[in-house]
Amino acid sequence: MSPTVFRESGFRFYFFSREEPRMHVHVQSQNGEAQFWLIPEIELAQHIGLSRHEIDEALRLIQEHENEIRKAWLKHFPS
């Protein structure tokens, strides 16, 4: 299961249900995907196929929606 947190600007922001416990979010677009850590700070963990522009845009959106993403994480992973 991989619940979607939100979609914006051609990106899907989501979690994988059974994955690493460190808070992070996955981002997918038609060109590729990336993973961003949220702790200790927001930073790119890895990416495949995304341009620098797409990575920067995804980062901007994560920063803009940080509280929403964190709340969704805590709801989805309550432990």
pLDDT tens, residue by residue, 15-54: 987 778 899 999 999 999 999 999 999 999 999 999 999 9
Overall pTM > 0.75: yes
Tell me the HSE value of 46 on the side-chain side, using a 13 A CA sphere: 1
Tell which residue, 12, 13, 47, 16, has the closest CA to residue 32: 47
Domain count, the chain: 1
Assess whether pLDDT exceeds 90 at residue 79. Answer: no
Contacts of residue 6, Cβ cutoff 8 Å, sequence gap at least 6: 13, 65, 68
Domain containing 9: what range?
A: 4-76
